[in-house]
Structure 1
Amino acid sequence: MSERTERTAAAQAILAIPLFNQLMDELEAGEINGAVAAPYDDHEKRQGHIAALRAIRNLRSRIGAIASEGQPSGGRPAPA
């Protein structure tokens, strides 16, 4: 098995773990709630929560991209 297929298989395994998805959802919700609940004039605190939220979403996106490497995109069919 090549390194690429091993990475793809590992990423797919991570995404198949329900606890991983639940934890990521909880982390996202916590950062969103933290940003919303931050004091109006505390821009640094709000920005910190938003930065953490972006990091969580980027991690999920990256794992999803690795999991779908080498698979058909499922895009539009070729014209006849």
Structure 2
Amino acid sequence: MKFVGMCLDSLARSDFDSYEVIVVDNGSVDGSREMIEKKYPEIRLIKNQSNMGFAIACNQGIKASKGDYISLLNNDIEVEAN
């Protein structure tokens, strides 16, 4: 859960003009789903009841996106300005 928060905080601090954040929760049980819903209500959260696997989760996020460009991030990534 610690890494998810750090990743999402870094995205919130970014200076991107326009972007959307989609998180695919693959059946987590560590409280990260609830933390995301409470702290980041603007994020679209896809809730899988069980771990569907990395590739399926990525495809779910891509299908849910509306943007022209897509960047896939794991939860341990922190985005730097610019």
Q: Is TM > 0.5 for Structure 1 vs Structure 2?
A: no
With structure 1 as the length reference, what TM-score do the two structures score? 0.25
Larger radius of gyration between Structure 1 and Structure 2: 1
With structure 2 as the length reference, what TM-score do the two structures score? 0.25
